[in-house]
């Protein structure tokens, strides 16, 4: 289901927050589109936080310590990478107004990113919006094989550590299904959304983010004897990250 089109000017951040709290989100027809439309899918993709599928191959990739994983270190870089055209994705739905409103929501503490680095190169990642105990995944990208899967694994671990209840994927894809995502009817989604938001939607304000879930709780799970690194956002994948992910995911194979 799509709703009225907003043309020719930037999105209002508070309007976007209230739309997500109602189960609606903006999209554009293509990167250079001047307008957006509002979407409310009849079937909603969600990834149950207790049903994430950590496969043997993904465990092996994380354990290899090939990638370095950070949170909110380069939000702008991630959203622009998601918006770029690629050989397997010649166009995207992230236009200028959507990019600008999410950059503003990030500065206000509502939008977050997971970055996956291959050396100094941004190999992939994802970004989304946090409200109450819900996280709305917006887009993910990979430029190196398995980078987006690593990002999702870290997102799930981070959300579980922070007490989140809902990971909204918007639409189901084969890739997401392989990681445990499912489709649910709109009414069921609205019920889950209401439980995850609680009273958050009644008091949305850009001045004070109503994020009851703690997006950065994962850092506190490092054992006291482990090196903590220079900053909370510099979470390096490796033996510690694999242990944390295994503790915070249920379904492994």
- What pLDDT digit, counting tens, does each position of 118-168 carry? 999 999 999 999 999 999 999 999 999 999 999 999 999 999 999 999 999
Spatial strand order in the sheet of 121-131: 68-71, 111-118, 121-131, 134-142, 166-170, 43-46, 182-185
Contacts of 240 (CB under 8 A, 6+ apart): 222, 223, 226
Partner residues linked to 43 by β-bridges: 185
DSSP-derived 3-state class of residue 27: strand
215-218 own/partner pairs: CB under 8 Å, 24+ apart: 215/71, 215/112, 215/130, 215/135, 215/158, 215/159, 215/162, 216/71, 216/158, 216/162, 217/158, 217/161, 217/162, 217/163, 218/71, 218/154, 218/157, 218/158, 218/161, 218/162, 218/244
Q: pTM of whole model > 0.95?
A: no
- What does the pLDDT look like over 176-210, one tens digit per residue? 999 999 999 999 999 999 999 986 554 555 545 55
Please list, residue by residue across 186-219, b when 16 or more beta carbons sit within 10 angstroms of its beta carbon and e when fewer do: eeebeebbeebbeebbeebeeeebbbbbbbeebb
pLDDT digits (tens, 9 = 90+) for 6-51: 444 578 999 999 999 999 999 998 888 888 999 999 999 999 998 8
DSSP of 79-107 = HHHHHS-BTTBS--S--HHHHHHHHHHHH
Q: What is the rounded average pLDDT for all residues in the chain?
A: 82
Distance CA(232)–CA(220), nearest Å, equals 9
């Amino acid at each position: 289901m799509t709703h009225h089109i907003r043309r020719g000017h930037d999105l209002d951040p508070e309007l976007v927050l209230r739309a997500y709290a109602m189960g609606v989100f903006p999209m554009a027809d293509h990167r250079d589109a001047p307008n957006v439309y509002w979407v409310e899918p009849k079937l909603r993709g969600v990834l149950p936080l207790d049903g994430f599928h950590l496969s043997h191959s993904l465990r092996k990739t994380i354990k290899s310590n090939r990638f370095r994983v950070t949170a909110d270190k380069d939000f702008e870089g991630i959203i622009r990478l998601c918006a770029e055209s690629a050989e397997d994705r010649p166009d995207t739905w992230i236009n200028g107004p959507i990019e600008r409103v999410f950059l503003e929501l990030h500065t206000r503490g509502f939008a977050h990113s997971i970055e996956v680095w291959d050396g100094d190169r941004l190999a992939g990642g994802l970004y989304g919006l946090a409200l109450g105990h819900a996280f709305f995944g917006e887009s993910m990208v990979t430029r190196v094989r398995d980078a987006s899967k690593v990002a999702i694994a870290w997102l799930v671990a981070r959300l579980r550590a922070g007490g989140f209840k809902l990971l909204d994927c918007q639409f189901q894809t084969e890739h997401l299904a392989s990681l445990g995502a499912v489709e649910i009817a709109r009414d069921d989604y609205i019920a889950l959304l209401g439980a995850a938001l609680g009273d958050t939607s009644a008091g949305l304000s850009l001045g004070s983010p109503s994020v009851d879930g703690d997006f950065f709780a994962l850092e506190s799970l490092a054992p006291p004897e482990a090196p903590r690194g220079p900053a909370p956002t510099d979470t390096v994948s490796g033996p510690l990250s694999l242990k944390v992910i295994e503790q915070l995911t249920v379904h492994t194979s």
